[in-house]
Chain A
Amino acid sequence: MKKKILVSFLAVLMVLGLVGCGKKNYGTGEIKVWVADNVVEFTDNQIKSFMEANPEYAGYTVTIEPVGEGDAAGQVITDVTAAADIYAFPQDQIARLVSAGALEVVNPDYEADVKKNNDAGSIGAATVGEKLYAYPLTSDNGYFLYYDKSVVTDPSSLEKIVADCEAAGKNFYFEVNSGWYQTAFFFATGCELTYDTDDNGNFTKANVSYASDAGVVALREIIELCASPSFQNGSSAGEATNVGAIVDGTWDSAAVKEIMGDNYACAKLPSFEGSDGKTYQLSGFGGFKLLGVKPQEDENKLAVCDAIANYLASEEVQLARYNEVGWGPSNIKAQGSADVKADEALSALGEQLAFSIPQGQYPGDYWNLATSLGDSVRNGEISASSSDADLMAALQNFQDTCVSYAK
């Protein structure tokens, strides 16, 4: 009798030991991944090689769907249960995703490494409150200047760029009605706009100083730019025509090269002379693309998702992604590789990043508010003839609304 008990006890021990050895059974299931159309094939290949290298996850089948990063967040929020388990999104959506319960915190096993390996800005972008909610994918979501060498003679001055484009009858694209590009002016003159968040993605406090003399200078500059006949509101090279210069990001470098051919050139954003006579260097946001994992009802599946996401955001995959589609890595070591350093667009962005502010968390309403401000300038509700008091009133209104988003 005693022997029997001993035998079964040993058997239990052995089973436990096997599990302990790491050959854990993760069960079976399906994992859905959403990434942008142009990296679907790349991601597919990467995941295949990952699954081959890790046979313990073999019970899971992974399907990849092309869902643009811009659309992903909205669709995840519409129905979290039907959404992808792993999805890429631009950082401005993170707070919204967290408060809708659509993001799981990064696996504690990986957290320290992720924080150590990626640049500080990208970690800040992936953090809501005190918690790390996503795996950084890229650090290239910033903007800088592309220009046509045959048109623009001096890319360091906004006034000269505009004058050159006007003289050549070419268009200068700058999307001033986007909350993302607009900050280039306001941050340049020293205005502040940031939000504090708690762990659940709620906005607790707004730090904003748009309603100030500095804000008026920035707004006047936007008005002046919009008044130029060469000015076009836009930031998408694929839809731009007759381009002399465009403020755009690395993701469009191929498109810009197509348009400009041999005259292709890029530089950091120019500086401008404000209405107060001082010179300001255009600033702006440095932004990041993130990879998120959805909350799961099954702990094993969550572990597999975490492992895949961690892999997709790792140094070698980021580097491979750069080589394949040109996305600038957030991983510090990948950033240091020779290929990345030689990239013209990425180095222009790197220069600009010195003047930019890493983009933190902003409420979704901010982006629309900024569009409204930009549209009001473009359609002449606020114009060069408006007095400083009018501009201040508009900015005060803007600032009050910004503050009202944080509760």
Chain B
Amino acid sequence: MEVGIKNVFGSIGEAVTKGEGKTKVSMLIMGFGQMLRGQILKGIAFLVSEVAFILYMILFGAKYCSKLGTLGDTVTQKVGRKTVYGDNSFLILLFSILTVFVIAAFILLWYLNIRDNLNQEKLLAQGKSLPSNKTVFESLFDKNFDKTLLALPVTGIFVFTVLPIIFMICVAFTNYDKNHQSPTNLFTWVGMANFKRLLSFGSSGIGSTFVQVLAWTLVWAFFATFIDYFLGLAVAMLINKKGVNFKRLWRTILVLTIAVPQFVSLLYIMKLFSNDGLLNGWMMKLGWISSPIQFWVDPMLARITIIVVNIWIGIPYMMLIATGLLMNIPEDLYESARIDGATGWQMFRSITLPYMLFVTGPFLLTQFTANLNNFNVIYLLTQGKPQSIRLAEKAGSTDLLVTWLYKMTVNDTNYCMAAVLGIMVFIVTAVVSLVVYNALPSVKDEEGFQ
């Protein structure tokens, strides 16, 4: 890294001290040197981006950036019966961040421009000729094909993922909530106040609620992942069993759950299990129970019901994966074990399971992190309910961190706390991934089964 910085300043210094006139002019008018040396295409590209940058800053960037410190101070007013909106803190923050990135990108481009000039100078000094415009263009489909391929996707990810995430991280340090909402009201920086609130356990803090939601999130992810994994494996082995007919039919039936959109199937199941739903209705008609089983009301029962319903969703997926993998296990391993008199269970424990765990280790990890953030199942089934007076900020007993975050955003417009929660979700996911990844057998022992 240090060498890199030295190089950067080295070449800038070189351009200032030793560079020829064209290069020095290029420091002000980008692309000037390239154009004079006949590289019209490259030169124009540099020049256009410089002009675009200056226009952007004058017309757009500067006016937002100047207010970044306070996030706006002109308040909304009434003139007669008409409303005159003041500063929009939201747009100030958003476009300021964008502008910071634009400036950074421009500095990089400016540096590339200088370096390119120096390179050209050197090539010419050595008596070599510069690549023609045509070659430069064609290289975009060969040597530099990666730039062509990645330009659009990287831009897309930057605008629609990176920028919003950085924006929301910033929001975590503001008081952007229902009382400070653009465009009518301003919001401003409040430092660490939101984090303090999340992690304080007093009456005004929501620490204990956060801990409970976090705990349930982890417990849920654990059960949802492993129960589905083993049951899915079991079903796959059942279907794969020698002597079982209609293998395709069984698989197709199970796979239906993946094909039917969840908002249809899960909403139906939600109604199925409700107190006045079909299931309770039947059991009461049959006289099995005298009062309805409170599937979605009792916190513990609701959690168990969710895990059970999730089995219904998870097994088919795991079954598909396991079916493919089970066929990869060499049959002679089982044969020799059978000759040694091993029982089915022993064979499972010493051959099937180790192989599966080894091969699907990374898959289990991604499943686990996906379950940490499994919004659909929880939200469509319970929306986080039942609530309890012991939980703050409208959290419910089956709320995961993400569903809680969602409710804060949509129902409460408590964006600053939602942003803090989002950062917490990130930390939890990252820590779990890091710890588990390093403990994976396939990472520790790459040779293993290969």
A residues near B (Cβ < 8 Å) are 74, 77-78, 80-81, 96, 99-102, 104, 107, 169, 171, 177, 202, 228-230, 232-234, 239-242, 295-299, 302-303, 364-365, 368-369, 371-373, 375-376, 378-381, 394, 397-398, 400, 404
Contacts and interface: CB of A to CB of B under 8 A. Distances in A.
B178 A77 contact: yes
Interface of B: 76, 80-85, 178-179, 181, 183-185, 203-204, 275-277, 281, 284, 290-292, 294, 297-299, 385-391, 394, 396-397, 410-413
B291 A380 contact: no
Contacts of B178: 77, 96, 99-100, 364
Nearest to A297: B83
A305 to B, nearest CB: 11
Given A381-B390, A397-B389, A101 B76 contact: yes
Contacts of A379: 294, 297-299, 386, 388, 397
B250 to A, nearest CB: 34
Given A101-B76, A394-B389, A78 B83 contact: no
B85 A297 contact: yes
A234 B394 contact: no
5 contacts: A80-B184, A296-B83, A299-B82, A400-B203, A404-B203
Contacts of B413: 74, 77-78, 100
A184 B281 CA distance: 28
Given A233-B275, A372-B389, A364 B84 contact: no
Contacts of A81: 183
A76 to B, nearest CB: 11
A100 B179 CA distance: 6
A372 B82 contact: no
Contacts of B292: 229, 232
A242 B385 contact: no
Contacts of A101: 76, 181, 183-185
A369 B298 contact: no
B387 A372 contact: yes
The 5 lowest CB-CB distance pairs between A and B, nearest first, are: A101-B184, A229-B291, A295-B83, A375-B386, A372-B387
A364 B389 contact: no
Contacts of B185: 100-101
A364 B291 CA distance: 33
Nearest to B80: A299
A239 B274 CA distance: 10
Given A99-B178, A102-B184, A364-B412, 10 more contacts: A104-B83, A229-B290, A232-B292, A297-B83, A364-B178, A372-B388, A372-B390, A375-B385, A379-B397, A400-B203
Nearest to A301: B82
Contacts of B390: 372, 376, 381
Given A81-B183, A302-B82, A376 B389 contact: yes
Given A77-B178, A297-B85, A368-B387, A100 B80 contact: no
Contacts of B179: 99, 202
Contacts of B291: 228-230
A79 B179 CA distance: 14
A297 B389 contact: no
A380 B81 contact: no
Contacts of B204: 404
Contacts of A104: 81, 83
A320 to B, nearest CB: 29
Contacts of A242: 276, 281
A100 B184 contact: yes
A78 B408 CA distance: 12
- The B interface, classified by DSSP as helix, strand, loop or mixed, is loop
Contacts, number: 111
B389 A369 contact: yes
A107 to B, nearest CB: 8
Contacts of B397: 379
Given A104-B81, A364-B412, A378 B297 contact: yes
A379 B387 CA distance: 10
Given A100-B178, A234-B276, A397-B389, A380 B83 contact: no
A302 B78 CA distance: 13
Contacts of B76: 101
B383 to A, nearest CB: 11
Contacts of A368: 387, 394
Contacts of B284: 169
B211 to A, nearest CB: 17
A233 B276 CA distance: 9
A77 B181 contact: yes
A302 to B, nearest CB: 6
B271 to A, nearest CB: 8
Contacts of A378: 294, 297-298, 386
A397 B294 CA distance: 26
Contacts of A96: 178
B214 to A, nearest CB: 19
Contacts of A397: 389
Contacts of A107: 81
A372 B391 contact: yes
B286 to A, nearest CB: 12
Contacts of A296: 82-83
A239 B270 CA distance: 12
A302 B290 contact: no
A231 to B, nearest CB: 8
A102 B183 CA distance: 10
A240 B84 CA distance: 48
B388 A233 contact: no
Given A78-B413, A101-B76, A242-B276, A375 B183 contact: no
A74 B386 contact: no
A290 B109 CA distance: 57
Contacts of A234: 275-276
B405 to A, nearest CB: 15
Contacts of B387: 177, 368, 371-372, 375
Contacts of B80: 299
Contacts of A364: 178, 412
B393 to A, nearest CB: 9
A175 to B, nearest CB: 12
Contacts of A99: 178-179
Nearest to B277: A241
Nearest to B394: A368
Nearest to B410: A74
A398 B413 CA distance: 23
B91 to A, nearest CB: 11
B276 A240 contact: yes
Nearest to A401: B389
B168 to A, nearest CB: 16
B233 to A, nearest CB: 34
